[in-house]
Structure 1
Amino acid sequence: MKKELYGLVVCGGKSKRMGTDKSLINYHGKPQRYYVYEMLEWVCDKVFISCNREQATGIIAPYQIMADLPDLGDVGPMAALLTAFSTYPDKDFLVVGCDYPFITTKDLKEFEKVLDREQIASAFYNEENDIYEPLLAYYSERSGNEIQRMYTSNQYSLQHFLKENGAEKYNPVRPKRMISIDTPEDFHAAKEKIALKINL
């Protein structure tokens, strides 16, 4: 029997550069956190919106939430995984951030199809910048202990975790869809491309 895969929509906090909560931005007719959730439902057995406690109060049913553990403090996206593995230590997670409006269900299905579940982790890889995309990634249950160890050592970078553990590099068929939108100017340009159905 194939092991269950849980999906995690990572909301994050208020982006300084964007000036607003990126999970609330509407690219596709609804807040991005709900759009990503619904994409993950096609790939995962169960999906949660990972958020801070303030964001949790605004999330409507039927979307399931996983609010960051209160004692984690400001450790960025690592809080989402620390909470996830604390809640479900025997599960694997597919993580998608709200920063990538061009990612589609097809992209996620292609990733899941070739995923080596024996790897500790696997992430979309940006060849141009020679970096992993930690919020377009798979984290196996074995990641949990290592991420907890890093947190205890005051190391909060998921990029560092992926590099140090030799995470599998996934080169997507359409790499331009990995674009992270972080400023109001980028948002307006992305919104226009999506409205015009410009393929990336």
Structure 2
Amino acid sequence: MKRQEESVTSKEHSKHSKIARPAYGNFGRNEWAIVGAPCGKIKALADDLIKGLSADYKCAYVDAHHANTDEEAVLPGRLASGAVAEYTDQIHYHQFDMKRELNAFQFRQLFQDTDLVLVNGNHEQAKAQVVIIDASKKASLQKRLPQLTNIVLFLLADGMEEVYDFLQEAIPDWQTIPVLQLSETGKVVSFFQEQMLQAKPKLNGLVLAGGKSLRMGQDKGAMAWHGKEQRYHMADLLGELCEQVYISCRTEQQAELDVNYSTLTDTFIGLGPYGAILSAFRKDPDAAWLVVACDLPLLDPATLKHLVEHRNTSANATTYASPQDGFPEPLIAIWEPKSYQVLLSFLAQGYTCPRKVLRICEIHLIESANADALLNVNTPEELEQVQLLLQDKTTY
């Protein structure tokens, strides 16, 4: 009977749509379990790494409570009275206690804003591991061999000179894994800095050209400001800075677009630019997306290059402050992978304004040296204004 139930479940699952999944572990995209040493040494190493990395990256640490397991558990605050959750504003930090187990899906939501997660591997697992060679935990480490699926670094504790024989036998390519002294804090921090540089999300480009241009009265993406249709001009500009570039469009538009340009149709229908950005993340959730609207006729290579050069991967997005109101410009912005969950959570609460997301979330806001480059055109009146500006630039 049990086998029949498993078979039915498997068939049901095969009917579900297959979409790209972010490269998460148990807690985040970049996570390392530290194993092979007493908890005190693991905590000390985590402290050193966080001190060395927190200037550039949002760091998190995962551990378990180390009280005597024979002691009776005492619930904090109102949880003892029967509450399921309690939030306390501690002024200098914030505390949220919950009276329930968390699963990997919930952990990923809680840690979505972090750049790296360090895990006490004596209690929790992660998709990559740092193994400390410490004599006091040799037997324990041998029992954890099945958990050592992706070792990236060996650290030799005081008095240890080589990697254990059982590790050499269990890991075919163990000799390619770096080995450092646990006491070489600077080198260990540098190793993780290099790991984070290698994990920097690639940058894709997205030209928003799926609007109906009702206020303009003609397709803004098809207007030729620079000798070719604007959507292709913008795609060419992004091509100098991005690995892959797509023109975002409605399904009915796709057939009329130049086949030499990659297109990306909306899979979040009826949400305008918000849906286009979500559709891009649905295609590649581990990429950052440089998003530009097609109604920016004065946008120049220097302005785009400046944005990319000042990109902050630790923020949800990097964008320009609007010259008109100082608010962030959502449609000339680099949206980092961590913003995908944020966009989805706003949608779940009934919000589809990308600017609102940027105003509420942590972003990197920069100023443009050329305010005209951020000028968009939505109406015939704005069209006349920009045409005059373009004529002036041509004259000079």
TM-score (norm 1): 0.92
How far apart, CA to CA, are the structure 2 residues paired with 1:153 and 1:187? Answer: 36
Is 2:284 the partner of 1:85? no
Corresponding residue to 1:68 among 266, 286, 300? 266
How far apart, CA to CA, are the structure 2 residues paired with 1:196 and 1:128? Answer: 22
How far apart, CA to CA, are the structure 2 residues paired with 1:196 and 1:108? Answer: 22
Name the amino acid aligned to 2:300.
T
Corresponding residue to 1:25 among 220, 223, 232? 223
How far apart, CA to CA, are the structure 2 residues paired with 1:49 and 1:33? Answer: 7
Q: Provide the residue aligned with 1:144 in structure 2.
A: 340
Name the amino acid aligned to 2:326.
D
Q: Provide the residue aligned with 1:16 in structure 2.
A: 214
Name the amino acid aligned to 2:311.
L
Corresponding residue to 1:3 among 186, 189, 201? 201
How far apart, CA to CA, are the structure 2 residues paired with 1:42 and 1:143? Answer: 24
Structure 1 residue 162: Cα displacement: 0.3
How far apart, CA to CA, are the structure 1 residues paired with 2:387 and 2:260? Answer: 26
Q: Provide the residue aligned with 2:372 in structure 1.
A: 176
Structure 1 residue 88: Cα displacement: 0.4
> How many residues are aligned here?
197
TM-score (norm 2): 0.48
Q: For 1:85-134, what per-residue CA distance to the aligned partner results, in whole angstroms no more than 9, with x for missing partners?
A: 11101111100101111011111011111111221112111143122211
Name the amino acid aligned to 2:339.
S
Distance 1:107 1:11, change over 3 A: same
Q: Provide the residue aligned with 1:38 in structure 2.
A: 236
Is 2:252 the partner of 1:54? yes
How far apart, CA to CA, are the structure 2 residues paired with 1:176 and 1:185? Answer: 16
Structure 1 residue 9: Cα displacement: 0.4
Q: Which has the larger radius of gyration?
A: 2
How far apart, CA to CA, are the structure 2 residues paired with 1:85 and 1:73? Answer: 14
Q: Find the residue that maps to 1:7 and give its secondary structure.
A: strand
Q: Provide the residue aligned with 2:351 in structure 1.
A: 155
Q: Percent identity?
A: 29
Structure 1 residue 189: Cα displacement: 3.1
Structure 1 residue 182: Cα displacement: 1.1
Q: Is contact 2:315-2:362 (8 Å) kept?
A: no
Q: Provide the residue aligned with 2:303 in structure 1.
A: 107
Q: Find the residue that maps to 2:393 and give its secondary structure.
A: coil
Unaligned runs of at least 5 residues, structure 2? 1-197
Structure 1 residue 187: Cα displacement: 1.5
